[in-house]
Chains A and B, each alone.
Chain A
Amino acid sequence: MSHHDVSYLEPKGSFWQTVWSWVYTIDHKKIGVMYLTAVLLAFLLGGLFALAVRAELFTPYQTIVTETGETITKGEALRFIADRWVENGSTLTVNNVYNRFFTAHGAIMVFLFIIPAVPAALGNFFLPIMLGAKDVAFPRLNLMSWYIYVFGSLLAVYSLVNGGVETGWTFYTPYSTTTNWGSTTAMLLSAFILGFSSIFTGMNFIATVHKLRVPGMGWFDMPLFVWAIYATAIIQVLATPVLGITLLMLVFERTFQIGIFDPALGGDPVLYQHFFWFYSHPAVYIMILPGFGIASELLAVHCHKKIFGYRAIAFSSIAIAAISFIVWAHHMFTAQSVALNAIFSALTFLVAIPTAIKVFNWIATMYKASISINTPMMYAMYFLFCFTIGGLTGPPLATLASDIHLHDTYFVVAHFHYVMMGGTVLAFIGGLHHWWPKMFGKMYWEPGAQLAGILVFVGFNVTFFTQFFLGTRGMPRRYATYIEELTTLHQISTIGSWILALGLFLHLFVFIHSLAAGKPAPKNPWGGLTFEWETESPPVEHNFPHEPVIVHGPYDYESVVPPHCDPAEYPVARPPAGGANGTNGTNGTNGTHHA
């Protein structure tokens, strides 16, 4: 059959037939690529808003009297937009434009980009392949998830074009139920709809992991990326419905004034915060767990060494997923009772333990390894650097005495950007380089990618490390201006954002260059052992020419020569007793199976 040896990227007949073969595809790889395109567009859009926000913060507002006696206000970078933005019959204030921009940045990055980024794009593409499956369990549902995502995203864009939202992405009541600026309801519905996409993707992955592993593959033979996506999927399925109902109640609140969250009608705004964070705190782990999965893959493959503490890493993902459901109220330390605060502070510290274990395991994996220094490995180390900072700045926020001061300041902003961007996004970019040759069959320009990576790393740290200082000095979040003493630090942060943007655009250029003029990729450019490196680059239509057979664990580098690799280049430290080709695992390896 032809589809056994034709790349999934191969055009189908005429141009329009090819287009049709994409928009109506149920192939998880094509859906993954479509997701990738969509989330990268969302990342670009959200990033532009971030740059605008940082531009506004370059200088605080200052009123200056000129020599001619005229008073002018300086430091309003968004004044140009405010003066041209008419709503309710008059132009907006600069504050209001700023508020819409930071809300747009947050909402787009959270709902449109970072939640679907790794699971729906890379996860969709690689989860079935890593399990040796031909597709996800429910391919049509998968396509439907993508269309729901696109529809939800278009609704978000509609909301932005229609005035945007100025409530912050957390939509705290009663502000969000009473404000009559912008198009808040459209954004709420958009997030509600995007939630369905996330739920369906999660359901699909859980069923796939349970039912579509290649025969003989036990739970502990799965790559750690699969474990991470699996843990993520559990959270997606369990937490997102609560967000759905919360946002729906907000929509009802805005349209029918149901009063459940509105104090003017006897409702309780803190109830909303509980509802919201019951989802949105686990959602943080929807965002970061896939990043952990990528980091494990990058480190194992590019260290050419069995990952240290496989089970500890796998179980810690599940533990984090479980604990993530019982820590939500640490977002309200300044709003609730002492008893609740004490309980949730203690529970929050529990998350730190499995997270610390993961980091130790990753560093231990590098010990006595054989480390290739390339873009994915450099990103793995950037990830370790930034995520460790992000993780270690968690305890001051979980500790009651220090959180009271740091809550809702730039310390929190810096902390979650170190986790979300320094963790997930850096891992995502690293994973994208790692799997790019497999996805598109083209190599990328390595020096360009490395340079871009350095710019991203430096820019990111310059942007966000300064914000820790700002936070301890009491710079509150969501401020369009600030006291003049903080100008220097804010300017360093803004300059960092430009370096970061430069690096990201260079990455974009490298990817486009690769698609246009990249060298053809070999089947296994990095010497990886998981199933995706056994098939063609790019994979054939049903992933494998023949159903793969599991003969070794995912990280048995010491005893197995990677598929399609020269044994002279990748010798094994412990040749298997039985044969020279290294397809049989030996003692002491994880979950080895014999063909």
Chain B
Amino acid sequence: MMLLEPISTLLATTSNPIKRAWDHLWFYGNTDASNFAAGSDAVFFFIFWVSAFFFVLLMVLMVIFAIKYRRVPGKSAPVSASHNTPLEIFWSVVPTILLAVMFFWGLIEYLPTRVAPGDAEEIQVVASQWRWDWVYDNGASPLNTEVIANMESPIFALPVNKPVKFVLSSLDVIHSFYIPGFRIKRDVMPNMYTQLWAEPTQVSHSWNEDTEEWQVVPEMARGDFDGFYLACTEYCGDQHSQMWGRVMVLSQGDYERWKTQQADTSGIPLVQLGGDLHKAKGCVACHSVDGSRGTGPTWQGIWGKTHTYVGGGSGIVDENYIRESILEPAANIVEGYPNQMVSYQGQLTDRELYAIVKYIQSLSDNAEDVAAAEAESEAEMAAKQEAAESEGGADGDAAGGGE
């Protein structure tokens, strides 16, 4: 099986390709990405090698017996014991001892995972069908996205060598918060807060001053950060399999820079911000922008259309309808679609809401609408620029909301 692994992975990495391929099969070969990974994997490999020993022993005996004691017609099996008390006690006690070791070792490694240290930075995690949202202590939520398994998924950042506590809650059904590389997992419940913590130990990305982008650090480039993603592991419906997030681990300085970047959306033009939010806030999970069918109506060309609602009535898609659909999704459902969406009340600023409206307008089939959205977006930016210049650039960005 290991021969079927991509040959490049075998050769590119280490002087011992067989060892490398074997390591890569299990856990992607990275067993040290968080403070818990090494302990968890040590327990796993202890159990693995004990099991491998017994399995090989039993199977070798089985095959040897099957060959050696093949039946010869006309000959009977010799008389042999049908039980042997010392042997039976031996093979009952030895597994019991080994199992007890597994249990206690597993328990010892597990207990610290449930009690976060007092100085851990707290991050609020809100799960809903089908997206993750993290709110950092400075109010930041991620804006950038990356395609994982064909889905625009938010990029979250964590600081290296610093404990982080996640406080989890769900807006609808049960989800489960899982970062494979860190070996942490906890169910996200709709009726209570749950939490877990970890301390990432390997930097995966750094800020590139030249390109002004977050880049994978060279040590990670060969794919060791394959486990650095967030996935939902409790089945939650239609797009359960596309509820991802990328996890970047940054140096502590980079991490602060990132948080500041993400916290301030006022410098982004409306239409662009709407597009970013569409991806980062998970709208993309249900609403496409290329006309393809999803759980909710596509946004392409939806602006100005007249829709029939479930349960009668109809209306035009305009600013008010979009606001209502974001804040009170169940109020008027477009015919042919399920009542699936949760409310985004309190999760978007007014300007962000408006940005989504303008973004949808910019996706209109009507060229005039598109132009109007772009023009308004540019005009707002220009006005801001002007205001900032006239005030000597004091705090022009502070008025994030309320346009």
Q: A: which residues have CB within 8 A of B?
A: 60-63, 71, 73, 75, 88-91, 93, 95-96, 98-99, 166-168, 172, 174-175, 178-181, 263-264, 268-270, 303-312, 332, 334-335, 338, 341-342, 345-346, 349, 352-353, 356-357, 359-360, 363-364, 366-373, 381, 384-385, 388-389, 392-393, 395-396, 398-409, 465-466, 469, 472-474, 476-485, 488, 492, 555, 557-558, 568-574, 588, 590
Contacts and interface: CB of A to CB of B under 8 A. Distances in A.
Nearest to A83: B293
Given A312-B88, A353-B92, A476 B149 contact: no
Nearest to A389: B55
A482 B39 CA distance: 27
A562 to B, nearest CB: 11
A573 B77 contact: yes
Contacts of B81: 308
Given A367-B80, A570-B76, A469 B295 contact: no
B111 interface: yes
B369 interface: no
B232 interface: yes
A93 B293 contact: yes
B297 to A, nearest CB: 10
A401 B39 contact: yes
Interface centre among A352, A404, A555 (most CB of B within 10 A): A404
Interface of B: 1, 4-6, 25-28, 36, 39-41, 43-44, 47-48, 51, 54-55, 58-59, 61-62, 65-66, 69-83, 87-88, 91-92, 95-96, 99-100, 102-103, 105-111, 113-114, 147-150, 172-174, 176, 178, 180-181, 183-187, 189-191, 194, 223, 226-227, 229, 231-242, 290, 292-295, 335-339
B95 A399 contact: no
Contacts of A363: 58, 61-62, 65
B44 A396 contact: yes
B96 A306 contact: no
Contacts of A398: 102-103, 106
A571 B232 contact: no
B44 A357 contact: no
Given A61-B149, A334-B176, A368-B69, A568 B74 contact: yes
Given A332-B187, A469-B1, A558-B79, 20 more contacts: A60-B149, A61-B242, A99-B240, A309-B83, A353-B95, A356-B92, A367-B61, A369-B65, A370-B72, A401-B105, A402-B44, A404-B110, A405-B44, A405-B184, A469-B26, A473-B227, A476-B178, A476-B231, A485-B223, A569-B74
Contacts of B36: 401
Interface centre among B47, B59, B76, B339 (most CB of A within 10 A): B76
A398 B54 CA distance: 18
Contacts of A99: 235, 237-238, 240
Given A307-B82, A466-B1, A479-B240, A89 B47 contact: no
Contacts of A263: 189-191
Contacts of A269: 174, 189-191
Given A349-B100, A370-B71, A408 B233 contact: yes
B337 A90 contact: yes
B87 to A, nearest CB: 8
B290 A270 contact: no
Contacts of A370: 69-72, 75-77
Contact of B80 (A166, A174, A368): A368
A372 B65 CA distance: 12
Contacts of B75: 370, 571
30 contacts: A88-B337, A90-B293, A91-B293, A168-B235, A172-B173, A172-B234, A175-B235, A179-B237, A263-B189, A268-B191, A310-B82, A334-B186, A335-B194, A349-B102, A369-B69, A388-B58, A395-B51, A396-B43, A398-B102, A400-B106, A401-B113, A402-B47, A405-B184, A408-B185, A408-B234, A409-B180, A469-B25, A569-B74, A573-B77, A573-B79
Top 6 A-B pairs, shortest CB-CB distance: A474-B180, A399-B106, A263-B191, A401-B109, A400-B110, A479-B241
Contacts of B293: 90-91, 93
B238 to A, nearest CB: 5
A524 to B, nearest CB: 15
Contacts of A305: 77, 80
A312 B82 CA distance: 11
A88 B59 CA distance: 54
A345 B40 contact: no
A434 to B, nearest CB: 15
Contacts of A392: 51, 54-55
Contacts of B25: 469, 472
B190 A95 contact: no
A398 B98 CA distance: 13
A407 B51 CA distance: 19
A360 B107 contact: no
Contacts of B176: 334, 408
B107 A95 contact: no
Interface centre among B77, B191, B290 (most CB of A within 10 A): B77
Given A392-B51, A571-B74, A399 B105 contact: yes
Contact of A360 (B5, B79, B91, B294): B91
Nearest to B177: A334
A133 B12 CA distance: 69
A334 B238 contact: no
Nearest to A374: B71
Contacts of B149: 60-61, 481-484
Contacts of B173: 172, 174-175, 178
A492 B4 contact: yes
A398 B70 CA distance: 38
B235 A172 contact: yes
A573 B180 CA distance: 58
B58 A399 contact: no
Contacts of A174: 172-174, 190
A356 B54 CA distance: 10
Contact of B99 (A352, A368, A407, A572): A352
Nearest to A473: B28
Contacts of A388: 54-55, 58-59
Interface centre among B71, B184, B232 (most CB of A within 10 A): B71
Given A179-B237, A573-B77, A366 B62 contact: yes
A179 B340 CA distance: 9
Nearest to B232: A476
A363 to B, nearest CB: 6
A483 B113 CA distance: 27
B116 to A, nearest CB: 13
Contacts of A396: 43-44, 47-48
Contact of A401 (B55, B65, B110): B110
B76 A571 contact: yes
Contacts of B191: 263, 268-269
Given A345-B103, A363-B62, A402-B43, A368 B78 contact: yes
Nearest to B27: A472
A89 B69 contact: no
Given A345-B107, A404-B185, A381 B66 contact: yes
Contacts of B59: 384-385, 388
A93 B150 CA distance: 14
Contacts of A359: 58
Contacts of A571: 74-76
B150 A63 contact: yes
A168 B50 CA distance: 34
Contacts of B69: 303, 366-371
Contacts of B292: 73
A478 B240 contact: yes
Contacts of B73: 569
Contacts of B82: 306-310, 555, 588, 590
B149 to A, nearest CB: 5
